[in-house]
Amino acid sequence: MSFPRCALLWARLPAGRQAGHRAAVCSAHRAHCGPPPAVLGRVPALAASSASGGSKAPNTSLFVPLTVKPQGPSADGDVGAELTRPLDKNEVKKILDKFYKRKEIQKLGADYGLDARLFHQAFISFRNYIMQSHSLDVDIHIVLNDICFSAAHVDDLFPFFLRHAKQIFPVLECKDDLRKISDLRLPPNWYSEARAIRRKIIFHSGPTNSGKTYHAIQKYLSAKSGVYCGPLKLLAHEIFEKSNAAGVPCDLVTGEERVTVEADGKQAAHVACTVEMCSVTTPYEVAVIDEIQMIRDPARGWAWTRALLGLCAEEIHLCGESAAIDLVTELMYTTGEEVEVRNYKRLTPISVLDHALESLDNLRPGDCVVCFSKNDIYSVSRQIEIRGLESAVIYGSLPPGTKLAQAKKFNDPSDPCKILVATDAIGMGLNLSIRRIIFYSLIKPSINEKGEKEIEPITTSQALQIAGRAGRFSSQYKEGEVTTMNREDLGLLKEILNRPVDPIRAAGLHPTAEQIEMFAYHLPDTTLSNLIDIFVDFSQVDGQYFVCNMDDFKFSAELIQHIPLSLRVRYVFCTAPINKKQPFVCSSLLQFARQYSRNEPLTFAWLRRYIKWPLQPPKNIKDLMDLEAVHDVLDLYLWLSYRFMDMFPDTSLVRDLQKELDGVIQDGVHNITKLIKISETRKLLHLESSLAGSQSRLSGTLKSQARRARGTKTAGSKAAEPLGASAGELSLASRLVQQGLLTPDMLKQLEKEWMTQQTEHGQERKGTRRKKKEHNSD
Ligand SMILES: Nc1ncnc2c1ncn2[C@@H]1O[C@H](COP(=O)(O)OP(=O)(O)OP(=O)(O)O)[C@@H](O)[C@H]1O
Ligand SMILES: [Mg+2]
């Protein structure tokens, strides 16, 4: 620590010279606190305004204190003690306690941004530092010594306390700079190329299946150059294929894939991309931004905002819900651009039925059962199979190839598969031949704008999107129907669908890597996740914008925090889209980052070993989920390979491997009901073995039930599976289930009966015991 001359001079003043004392405190204070301190007890105007910065008070719970280690023995000895005398630690403790309790000091702390929480934390750290240091800085030592001898006031510790507080909370020193960096007002000004041209904005508005995208794409295809920005890889693929099929050479750019179609590898004039990937510096004649209402998405909305404000195109075609018109018009007002709205009507009729499906027995060809959980998907497809029907299955975590293969199977009129079981992954994108949408449930877990998990009925917008998949103009069904599985849900569905969609009020924003880098420059010892929190808290946005939820980014940042990486690289790793519910994907991010930090390129050979290639076809649902996770890991590799080509060099080999894996998964999903059956049996086996210890009589019941069912003695144990020591008898139940003689429902029923029997027996036994007791006591 520095040794301010003023402090030493002041310390050398003879005790009791009160007039000199105040002047010295002021100069010491100036040296340590920065802004003029004014006289203790008065609010220093300048300090107060600089602390608040004229904005809302920061959320100080985000300020994580840095550790300041107590000083060990110094080679120069204890200079403070030599100049004065060694400190009596008991006295010092009393002084510090008094200092902490002083209202004036607390007030002064608040003027420098130390609210009660920070003041307390800073004090604890300051006290530990003083009490545990072997030798203190000379300036503190002298002041403490003077206070001990009443030659100084306890308040004179404040400059040293504040110096310490700024050390542990460096944010206190640079709040104004941080506010400037995180000022997200006026986002249109971030895109100078777009602001240099006057763009024509056309909003294609209308319900689902009204031809919005179709009309925008017609413009795109007829232009000399164009960019299509879609919400999903599958949609980008669809436009890429349509465009090339129409003789308009078109490239494909998604986070994990780049395809150039020109023979010499030159970029084509048209490109279809996922919205996050669009270039805001390349000039185009026509740009299409699909599903513009996604601008309100709590996590991804920033990508639509960026495309809308930043694309350099003469014409920008927006496709989406009318709920976005007002916001888009307002945003374009700030850029000085007008919006032309074109309204469309649904191309085919759609009706909400007056009756629910009630039972899967009532399924018809062209039906799509929409579930919001994988478990429901499994259970519904299994029940469909039990009814002798075939179903296709589509859910979010399936690889794109598998989704397309399942869609193709369902769409193919000559394929026996006529029922689709899907999550809302079909809500945007795939063109499916659906006649009737059946909502299996209306409850979907979601993340709200504050990043909190909510289990609520789906929104009107979601319900409309999903329902809108029925009776597509291009499909064989020219009329769509919508209903629910359960009668009780039908009223709610109707209510949801009839609610007006709230106009969208704000567009998402996202800090840039540069902004975070500048934050890190000011707060070098702060973790990236904490930097993000502080950034979001400090950021200022105009009313038409909001800062997107960055939970996934923070999750990755925390995961790889301990790995030494430059901030830029760390930032890129954290923007890689990963499914944080997949442990293998998360540990792969960590592993990739670790290899990167060791400067060891992640080669194809290494990756094959890492994922244990070749992988076996899935034998049950768990295997299938594991393969899906491996597919995601390959996606992660590919995503990183476009950002760090030298460290992830084997893009095309990995892509081929991924295609192969997609094939294995496709086969697995093709046989999904078999996998579900095996998994169910396993679950039952597990259930049985856990019941084995406490309910050994169950097996006896099963045995007799089974004997009764078959009229034979099949309870031999030759074919029994090894289920553990106590499960010998129970293996019968397993075999009965496996042989299909006992259905899971029958087993559950038996279990219930057994439990009832147990309870009744128990009550009987209790009753008998009571009677015996009563008898004995008589
Ligand atoms: N005028 C048209 N001629 C031929 N096909 C059309 C026409 N309009 C729409 N289609 C076809 O109808 C289907 C639905 O159209 P489109 O995808 O443009 O609807 P949308 O309004 O964008 O729906 P969503 O809101 O679900 O995205 C597509 O397969 C599209 O190719
Ligand atoms: Mg569309």
Q: Which residues contact 257 (CB under 8 A, 6 or more apart)?
A: 233, 638, 655
Q: How many CB atoms lie within 10 A of CB 64?
A: 17
Do the beta carbons of residue 312 and residue 286 sit within 8 Å?
no
* DSSP H stretches of helix in 576-721: 583-597, 604-611, 621-641, 651-670, 672-692, 696-710
Q: Which atom of ligand 1 is nearest to the CA of 469?
A: 26
How many other C-beta atoms are found inside a 10 Å radius of the C-beta of residue 219? 17
Closest residue by Cα to atom 27, ligand 1, is 208
> Could you tell me how many helices (H) and strands (E) the chain has, helices first?
31, 18
Secondary structure (3-state) at 227: strand
User: Of the bound ligands, which one is closest to the alpha carbon of residue 214?
Assistant: 1
The reported pLDDT for the residue numbered 32 is 45
Atom 25, ligand 1: which residue's CA is nearest? 208
Q: Where are the alpha helices (DSSP H) in 133-271?
A: 138-148, 158-168, 175-181, 192-195, 212-222, 233-245
Q: What's the CA-to-centroid distance between 213 and ligand 2, angstroms? A: 4
351: amino acid identity, one letter: S
Pairwise CA distance, residues 655 & 43, whole Å: 65
- The token duo for 276 is 């996050």
Instruction: Read off the amino acid at residue 644.
Output: F
Q: Whose alpha carbon is nearest atom 8 of ligand 1? A: 211
3-state SS assignment for residue 255: coil
Q: Is the CB of 468 within 6 Å of ligand 1?
A: yes
584 lines ligand 1 (CB under 6 A): no
Query: Is 41 exposed, middle or buried (CB count within 10 Å of its CB: 0-12, 13-18, 19+)?
Result: exposed
Rounded Cα distance, 275 and 285, in Å: 17
**Could you tell me if 160 and 108 are in contact, meaning their C-beta atoms sit under 8 angstroms apart?**
no
Tokens representing 25 are 């405190």
Q: Name the closest-CA residue to atom 14, ligand 1.
A: 209
Q: Report how far residue 191's alpha carbon sits from residue 178's, in angstroms, rounded to the nearest whole number.
A: 22
Count the neighbouring beta carbons within 10 Å of the beta carbon of residue 204: 24
**Cα dihedral sign for 244, 246, 248, 250?**
negative
In angstroms, the CA 482 to CA 493 distance is 9
Concatenated DSSP letters for 448-462? -TTS-EEEEEPPHHH
Interval between CA 346 and ligand 1 midpoint (Å): 9
Distance 477 CA to ligand 2 centre (A): 18
Pocket flag, ligand 1, residue 208 (CB < 6 Å): yes
Q: What is the pLDDT of residues 520-529, one digit of tens each?
A: 999 998 999 9
**C-alpha–C-alpha distance, residues 745 and 308, integer Å:** 54
| Torsion sign, CA atoms 307, 312, 313, 314 | positive
Backbone angles phi, psi at 31, to 5 degrees: -60, -30
Q: For ligand 1, is residue 322 a contact (CB within 6 Å)?
A: no
- 630, 635, 640, 646 alpha-carbon torsion, rounded to 10°: 80
Q: State how beta strands 419-422 and 367-370 pair.
A: parallel
Residue 574: in which H helix or E strand, if any?
helix 567-575
The pair of structure tokens assigned to 458 is: 């789906």
Each residue's pLDDT tens digit, 429-439:
678 999 999 99
Residue with CA at minimum distance from ligand 1 atom 18 = 211
Residue 469 CB–ligand 1 contact under 6 Å: no
What is the pLDDT, as a whole number, of residue 743? 61
From the CB of residue 402, how many other CB atoms can be counted at a distance below 10 Å?
26
d(CA 142, CA 1): 14
Closest by CA position to 664, among listed 624, 708, 636, 703: 624
Give the torsion sign (CA, 523, 525, 526, 531): positive
**pLDDT value at position 769?**
43
Which atom of ligand 1 sits closest to the CA of residue 473?
A: 12
pLDDT at 263: 86
Which stretch of DSSP H or E encloses residue 745?
Answer: helix 744-777
How many other β-carbons are positioned within 10 Å of the β-carbon of residue 509? Answer: 23
pTM: 0.79
Which residue's CA lies nearest to atom 16 of ligand 1? 211
Tokens (6 digits) for 3:
């040794």
**CA of 206, closest atom in ligand 1:** 21
| CA–centroid distance, residue 290 to ligand 2 (Å) | 6
Kindly compute the dihedral angle of the four CA atoms of residues 739, 741, 745, 748, in this order, to the nearest 10 degrees. -90
Q: Give the distance from CA 325 to its chain's centroid.
A: 28
38: tokens are 């004014």
Cα 407 from chain centroid (whole Å): 27
Q: How far apart are alpha carbons 262 and 197 in whole angstroms?
A: 29
Task: Indicate if ligand 1 lies below 6 Å from the C-beta of 431.
Answer: yes
Probe residue for ligand 1, chosen from 242, 474, 477, 501 as the CB with the greatest number of ligand atoms within 8 Å: 474
Question: What's the rounded Cα separation, in Å, for the pair 155 and 21?
Answer: 12
The one-letter amino acid at 579 = N
Rounded Cα gap, residues 150 and 153, in angstroms:
7
Residue 501's pLDDT is 87
- Residue 429: CB within 6 Å of ligand 1? no
Q: How far is the CA of 296 from the centre of ligand 2 (A)?
A: 17
Task: Tell me if 473 CB under 6 Å of ligand 1.
Answer: yes
Q: How far apart are CA 313 and CA 288, in angstroms?
A: 9
What is the rounded CA–CA span in Å between residue 72 and residue 112? 30
641: which residues sit within 8 A by CB, 6+ positions away? 648, 649, 650, 651, 654
Kindly list the averaged pLDDT for each block of 10 residues, start to end, along the chain of length 778.
35 35 39 38 31 65 89 80 88 94 94 93 94 90 92 94 94 91 94 95 95 97 98 94 97 96 93 97 97 96 98 98 97 96 95 96 96 91 91 93 93 94 86 94 76 80 93 90 96 93 94 90 92 94 94 95 95 94 95 97 97 92 94 97 97 96 92 78 63 48 42 35 35 54 61 57 46 41
Q: Is the CB of 397 under 6 A from ligand 1?
A: no
Strand partners, 36: none
Q: Is the CB of 475 under 6 A from ligand 1?
A: no
* Residue 659, number of CB atoms within 10 A of its CB: 12
Could you count the other beta carbons within 10 Å of the beta carbon of residue 116?
11
Q: Which residues of 456-483 are buried (b: 16+ CB within 10 A; e: fewer)?
A: ebbebbbbbbbbbbbbbeebebeebbbb
In the reported structure, the alpha carbon of residue 681 is separated from the centroid of ligand 1 by a whole-number distance in angstroms of 44
One-letter amino acid at 12 equals R
d(CA 408, CA 503): 36
Ligand nearest to the CA of 216: 1
If phi over 0 gives left and psi between -120 and 50 gives alpha, with beta otherwise, what is residue 691? alpha
Q: Collect all residues with Cβ–Cβ distance below 8 Å to 245 and sequence separation of at least 6.
A: none
What residue has token string 């294609």? 204
Pocket of ligand 1 contains residue 433 by CB under 6 Å? no
Q: What would the pLDDT profile of 63-85 be if each residue is shown by its tens digit?
A: 989 988 888 887 777 888 888 88
Q: Give the whole-angstrom CA distance, residue 338 versus residue 325.
A: 12
Select from 563, 568, 618 the least CA-distant residue to 591.
563
Spell out the residues 6+ positions from residue 282 whose beta carbon is closer than 8 angstroms to its own. Answer: 227, 312
Mean pLDDT, the chain, rounded, equals 83
- Choose one of 214, 319, 461, 474 to mutate for the ligand 1 pocket test, by most ligand atoms within 8 angstroms of C-beta: 214
For residue 39, what pLDDT is reported?
Answer: 30
What DSSP state is assigned to residue 38?
A: -
- Is the backbone peptide bond immediately before 614 cis, with ω within 30 degrees of 0? yes
